[in-house]
Chains A and B, each alone.
Chain A
Amino acid sequence: MRVALFITCYNDTLFPQTGIATVRLLERLGHTVEFPENQTCCGQMHSNTGYGDEAIPLIRRFVKAFRDAEVVVSPSSSCVSNIRTAYLRSLVDTGDEALKRDVADLVPRVFELSQFLVEKLGVEDVGAYYPRRVTYHPTCNSLRALKVGEAPLKLLRAVRGLDLIELPDAQECCGFGGTFAVKNEDTSVAMLSDKMRTVLGTRAEICTALDSSCLMHIGGGLHRLRSGVRTVHLAEILASTEGDFIHGERR
């Protein structure tokens, strides 16, 4: 399949390894990955913070970049959720019927990575190897907006060498919430401390999820505490093979 990758602005800038892993994984599964270079940001931060109208040029840009794609895949549940739920809502009063039609036409072809693999392709075993003790945090957007359900867990269970530990109170928000993390810093950190407590309680070495943004939050707290536990995006786990570990430790 021809897969157009929507990398998202923060993966592009801060977590290129997540994008690289997504490319390697999809290519290993026999797909052709394309990267439309005029893509940037889906506009989530703006629309969630009350700047939905301002973000309309970004909707237009997204549609232009991906209009011709067979499928669009993104390693970010929150961005996919923004595209699926906020785009048409933002356009309601614009009267730009052509753009609305384009969005309505494109949205069903936009997938979060794990949902794409399990639900669209029907793949669970991607041939990955990752000999680590791992716990999975279901991020709010993947859990409640996209309803990915068991998809990421099915993928993780099929990874060779991986020891999957259940996270207690997993459905509780980590406290990121985009600009919430800085506007309501104290509450955000109070939520984070409970999340870190449960992550540390699993004695896992790695906490994984479908969103680099939430992982940046959890990982930022764990790193500040020098907890010896780090966060890794699901794509990186799924991209790993035995060769990666034999030829040197992965980041």
Chain B
Amino acid sequence: MASAAERHTFPELAKRAVADTQLRRNIGNATQTIRAKRAAVVAEVPDWEDLREAGRSLKEHTLRSLDRYLVQLEEAVTKAGGQVHWARDGAEASRIVIEIAERHSVKEVIKVKSITTEEIKLNEALEAAGIRPFETDLAELIIQLGDDVSSHILVPAIHRNRAEIRELFMRKLGLTELSDRPSDLTAAARTYLREKFLTVPMAVSGANFGICDTGTICVVESEGNGRMCLTLPQVLVSVMGVEKLVPTWEDMEVFLQLLPRSSTGERMNPYNSFWTGVMPGDGPQEFHLVLLDNRRTDVLADRTGRQTLNCIRCSACLNICPVYSRTGGHAYHSEYQGPIGAILTPQLHGMESAASLPYASSLCGACYEVCPVKINIPEVLVHLRTRAVAQSGFTLEKLAMGAAIRMFDNPRLLETAQKIARVAQRPFASDGYITGGIGPVRQWTKARDLPAVPSQSFRDWWRTRR
């Protein structure tokens, strides 16, 4: 993807988000509910920590020999009657999908929920080529119909409530009567989608896992709409990031325990779809697998950053995150939100377009604690901050940080600075507190008082007692 300078920084977008009372309630309630569900089903598994370690080490192992495993997968898929394509970036992947559609003179495609295709802006590319994509995941449909943007990797419309969805469906699906009961909303979507499932000849999906020894692709979901797309059309194209591989069929026992409990807080996903190439007379008769790099191999080359590729997109880190649960997902201005978004976006789309994201965290570590594949997100955040600093030009912050090092590397200078602060704070201090100031002190004191520098430092006290 082409990188552009960051147009919307996280602090700017978050300022608007935290002031939105309805959003705060929607996101706060939704994240609290899912957190509790996750905690309950994770507590049921006595060897959860061992499972996490198994998931992490399987991912690490696969990524270490990715070249070998990719070739193995390609061979297995091809042998089973599928066709494998390699895409260096999003544009190449989109072109491959469009060419397949054009070869079949297809004007419409149905889509399984996929963040990878969002990452490469496939829908936009399809539309530009005169092909209409229909999202079939209920939440993705809500986003598509409303010309909206996803705010959660698993629950894209988490920022919308029932009343808003009802209005949208009435307007866009041409309904004159509709209640806001979830069952009625689902029924309305079903009627609309059913026709698409039965008439559209080509489907596009992402992939949760690509199993190398058998050449099997796996998609997990809750609604069954994905299953419809994966079985009814004649042509199926799956776009998969190269990091989604697992070595063997047996390894799925680990991931199919980790993923549902971490993501929806369920013991098992309602729908686990697996397919291997083409089965004559059953399901799609043409299958294409598009293996997407889009800077993933650059991420892999980075010692600290590469663990990001372990991610199985469960969204547990979003739900637990104290930042995400207050700002919601739009503040991240990315198809990947929350802690994983804060580390993945700058690595996939370029630091220059997302330099504020590594700072969108208090480094509280809650994400690392819940991550089913043990990605040390705070460690990667700090690592990316170092890169953001290295890539930025001259800043006042750099100047101040350099001065601070010189001060801290000299106890006498530190004492002088303490003395200067005692004088400099006078205009802003009263009764032991500073209530205003400039620069970072101003940012702090907008909503919080700051203790004034007392007349005696610890060092001063220590000297008095000797």
- A146–B182 Cα gap in the complex (Å)? 44
Quick check: which of A98-106, A107-115, A184-192 contacts chain B, the rest being far away? Answer: A184-192
Q: Assess whether A16 is in contact with B363, with CB atoms less than 8 Å apart.
A: no
Let me know if A162 is at the binding interface, CB within 8 A: no
Let me know if A118 is at the binding interface, CB within 8 A: no
Quick check: which of B212-220, B257-265, B446-454 contacts chain A, the rest being far away? Answer: B446-454
Within 8 A of B (CB), among A16-59: 16, 19-20, 23, 35, 37-41, 43, 45-55, 57-58
Chain A residues contacting B24 (CB-CB under 8 Å) are: 190
Closest A residue by C-beta to B362: A177
Taking the closest CB of chain B, its distance from the CB of A212, in whole angstroms, is 9
Q: Assess whether B448 is in contact with A192, with CB atoms less than 8 Å apart.
A: yes
Chain A residues contacting B456 (CB-CB under 8 Å) are: 16
Q: Assess whether A48 is in contact with B363, with CB atoms less than 8 Å apart.
A: yes
Q: Assess whether B322 is in contact with A192, with CB atoms less than 8 Å apart.
A: no
Let me know if B424 is at the binding interface, CB within 8 A: no
Interface 1/0s, chain B 409-426, versus A by CB < 8 A?
111001000100100000
Q: Assess whether B361 is in contact with A180, with CB atoms less than 8 Å apart.
A: yes
Closest B residue by C-beta to A144: B365
Q: Assess whether B364 is in contact with A224, with CB atoms less than 8 Å apart.
A: no
- Tell me the interface secondary structure of chain B in the complex: helix
Q: Assess whether B443 is in contact with A182, with CB atoms less than 8 Å apart.
A: yes
Q: Assess whether A13 is in contact with B322, with CB atoms less than 8 Å apart.
A: no
Quick check: which of B65-73, B85-93, B94-102, B383-391 contacts chain A, the rest being far away? Answer: B383-391
Contact of B462 among A35, A179, A223 (CB under 8 A): A35
- A184–B361 Cα gap in the complex (Å)? 9
Q: Assess whether A53 is in contact with B386, with CB atoms less than 8 Å apart.
A: yes
Q: Assess whether A216 is in contact with B451, with CB atoms less than 8 Å apart.
A: yes
Interface 1/0s, chain A 140-181, versus B by CB < 8 A?
110011000000000000000000000000011101111111
Contact of B447 among A14, A180, A224 (CB under 8 A): A224
Chain B residues contacting A23 (CB-CB under 8 Å) are: 462
Taking the closest CB of chain A, its distance from the CB of B403, in whole angstroms, is 11
Q: Assess whether B447 is in contact with A12, with CB atoms less than 8 Å apart.
A: no
Let me know if B22 is at the binding interface, CB within 8 A: no
Chain A residues contacting B404 (CB-CB under 8 Å) are: 45-46
With an 8 Å Cβ cutoff, the count of chain A residues facing the other chain is 67
Contact of B326 among A46, A144, A191 (CB under 8 A): A191
Let me know if A183 is at the binding interface, CB within 8 A: yes
Contact of A220 among B327, B449, B458 (CB under 8 A): B449
Contact of A13 among B360, B386, B387, B418 (CB under 8 A): B418
Measuring CB to CB, which residues of chain A are less than 8 angstroms from any residue of chain B?
Answer: 7, 9, 11-16, 19-20, 23, 35, 37-41, 43, 45-55, 57-58, 61, 86, 89, 140-141, 144-145, 171-173, 175-192, 194, 216-217, 219-221, 223-224
Measuring CB to CB, which residues of chain B are less than 8 angstroms from any residue of chain A?
Answer: 10-11, 14-15, 18-19, 24, 322-323, 326-327, 358-366, 368-369, 379, 382, 385-389, 397, 401-402, 404-405, 408-411, 414, 418, 421, 433, 435, 440, 443-444, 446-451, 453-454, 456-462
> Which 5 pairs, one residue from A and one from B, show the smallest C-beta to C-beta distance?
A177-B362, A50-B385, A220-B448, A173-B364, A144-B365
List 8 A-B pairs, Cβ < 8 Å: A13-B414, A13-B418, A35-B462, A54-B405, A173-B322, A184-B11, A191-B326, A220-B449
